[in-house]
Amino acid sequence: MLGPATLFVVTITAIRRLRVFRTVAALTHGGPNKPGEVLLHLMCREVTFFRIGYSAAIKAVFPAVVLGLVLLETRVLERRVHCR
């Protein structure tokens, strides 16, 4: 009975996990040698260096990556939700 709710919570959590821009920007700006760099922070940094094409490419790829991960996760978890 909790399968569909669990699937929803896991999917929303996965999406929110990839949106950590504010934390990285406020705390470390990617850190020394950029080990904490995330894709959204890299995109904004490229805009400040006027590399608009590279930033636009990141902006186009990021939703595709998120969608792919969510679909994969949903497909794997859906089997567990609907199996009897």
Q: What is the pLDDT of residue 83?
A: 62
pLDDT value for 82: 64
DSSP 7-63: HHHHHHHHHHHT--HHHHHHHTTT-TTSTT--HHHHHHHHHHTT-HHHHHHHHHHHH
Closest Cα partner for 68 from 15, 4, 32? 15
**How far from the centroid of its chain's Cα atoms is residue 27's Cα?**
19
Mean pLDDT of 7-18: 83
What's the mean per-residue pLDDT of the chain? 82
pLDDT classification of 12: cutoffs 50, 70, 90:
confident
